[in-house]
Amino acid sequence: MKVDKDFQIVTMKKQKHIALIAHDNRKEDLIEWVSTNKDKLGRHFLCGTGTTAKMITNAVHLPVKAFNSGPLGGDQQIGCRIVEGDIDFMIFFWDPLTAQPHDPDVKALLRIAVLYDIPIATNKSTADFLLSSPLMYEEYDRKIIDFSKRMHRK
């Protein structure tokens, strides 16, 4: 990890740590996408929120480390792992038309993902583009903005 001005540079390794998350109305869509991309995803470390992780493991037979269900703190667990540098990448098939009881947690998770400059796919098209990127198979330097330094300069 290097520090450059008001950025912290964190190198993602060739093997990415990918979080897989889906709201209830999108779980089957995510399972289908994972199944289609099983060979590519099998080269990386996978984790996800409780029900989604278990459904993917059962349907696609890929190992997916399960955290708690989203409404029971799983989104916050994933966010914590992003902050700690243990998750590099997130595929989150969310349901934009259904209010979720844990909407504040979802918003916090997305905010953390942006703050820590990790790639996020919230639909199939974006997930396809990200997974097909040559950057998926090489090291990549993320520049994480140090907002405290920026705030002190003002």
146 flagged as catalytic: no
Catalytic residue among 6, 24, 29, 75: 75
Do the annotations mark residue 152 as ligand-binding? no
SS (H, E, C) the chain: CEEECCEEEEEECCCCEEEEEECHHHHHHHHHHHHHCHHHHCCCEEEECHHHHHHHHHHHCCCEEECCCHHHCHHHHHHHHHHCCCCCEEEEECCCCCCCCCHHHHHHHHHHHHHCCCCEECCHHHHHHHHHCHHHHCCEEEEEECHHHHHHHC
Do the annotations mark residue 49 as ligand-binding? yes
Do the annotations mark residue 133 as ligand-binding? no
Do the annotations mark residue 11 as ligand-binding? no
Do the annotations mark residue 50 as ligand-binding? yes
Please state, in angstroms and rounded to a whole number, the distance separating the CA atoms of residues 92 and 120: 7
Do the annotations mark residue 27 as ligand-binding? yes
Do the annotations mark residue 122 as ligand-binding? no
Do the annotations mark residue 54 as ligand-binding? no
Annotated binding site: 23, 27, 49-52, 69-70, 102
Annotated binding site for substrate: 23, 27, 49-52, 69-70, 102
Which residues have a catalytic role annotated?
75
